[in-house]
Structure 1
Amino acid sequence: MANIINFKNAYAFKLENFHLVDNPESWIITSLALLIGDYEIYRKQAALLILKALLRMDFLKELLNDNGIHPFDRNDPRVKKWIKNILSIEECQLCGSKENLEAHHIIRWADYPRGRIDSNNGMCLCKNCHIEQHKYDDIRFMKGAG
């Protein structure tokens, strides 16, 4: 049997804010659809603000950790955790340096939303090797190979 969402559940919803909008249930569903879909970042940011106003933080975090909602902002706590995990390698995977380490997406952030927090899509690189990896990015974008 399908789970039915109880929009009167005070654990999940900030009922005290429901008076701020007409039909808060619709706002919540639409905002979640925007986060899941392929929309511009500013629309996703607006949807997240709406959800923060209407949902309790614990419930919102639970929703955001669902595999269907990929990070769209590099300040997302899941991205910070991914960076920490990649940097735990503690040396550049190309040259072996232990200085100025950075986390690098093997398949670019923009090209692979599902891989934004996948540790298999990350490399620990020193700043110089990271710069080298992105040296031709602009040329590839111009040629449409991005």
Structure 2
Amino acid sequence: MNIHDLEIVKRIDRTKDPIKKRIYAAKELWRIYAIAGEITIDWDLAEEALAVIISENTNKYQKMGARILLDGYFGPKEVNNMIEEVAVVTERNDPLVVRWRKKIKKRDDVCQGCGSTEHLEAHHISHWSDDPVNQINPNNGILLCNKCHAKAHPELSEEFFNT
């Protein structure tokens, strides 16, 4: 067992959620088989995994498992490209949401409301809770400063935006 493998075992052991432990272990087994060249793409399974990721009716564990399968087949970058306009994410710190924020900031560069370059935040045009299908679609985002962002969300307190 090498240092990398020991770190993986430690990470799995530190995980408190028993389902996530199994998912992380499966991910490492998948990685080992992929390195050994023992994986061939099952297109029906890949299609099913993609359906799980874009569904509003699957839980985060199902999405994690499907993502592992697709990442193993196609690589994480290609999977991100495949699903960015249709995936349904459940957590705001999901890597796809982080990627969405970076794309919006890179594309817009300044606040689209007032032109400010200070305290910039990515804003969902069609709100996060109202439109789960477009949560990570770059066409559903604009860059706003925290003051313009607060104006776009009058239902939330200004403290939420640190204005």
Mark yes or no: TM-score above 0.5: yes
Which residue identity does 1:101 align to in structure 2? L
1:93 Cα deviation from its structure 2 partner: 1.1
* Structure 1 residues 94 and 69: alpha-carbon distance in aligned structure 2, compared to 1, 3 A threshold: closer
- Kindly indicate whether residue 96 of structure 2 is the aligned counterpart of residue 78 of structure 1: yes
Residue of structure 2 aligned with 1:93, choices 100, 112, 121: 112
Q: Which has the higher helix share?
A: 2
* Partner of residue 54, structure 2: 36
Contact between 2:49 and 2:67, CA under 8 Å: does it hold in 1?
Answer: no
Which residue identity does 1:85 align to in structure 2? K
Contact between 1:104 and 1:122, CA under 8 Å: does it hold in 2?
Answer: yes
1:75 Cα deviation from its structure 2 partner: 3.1
- Kindly indicate whether residue 28 of structure 2 is the aligned counterpart of residue 10 of structure 1: no
**Alignment RMSD:** 3.4
TM-score (norm 2): 0.52
Query: Please, which runs of 5 or more residues in structure 2 have no aligned partner?
Result: 1-37, 158-163
* Structure 1 residues 55 and 110: alpha-carbon distance in aligned structure 2, compared to 1, 3 A threshold: same
> Within 5 A, what are the aligned runs for 1:64-143?
65-67=81-83, 69-72=86-89, 73-88=91-106, 89-136=108-155
What do residues 32-69 of structure 1 show as CA deviations (whole Å, max 9, x unaligned)?
544332226xx1x1103333665653537455643485
Query: Please, which runs of 5 or more residues in structure 1 have no aligned partner?
Result: 1-8, 14-24, 139-146
**Aligned pairs, how many?**
115
Secondary structure of 1:104's counterpart equals strand
Quote the sequence identity (%). 35
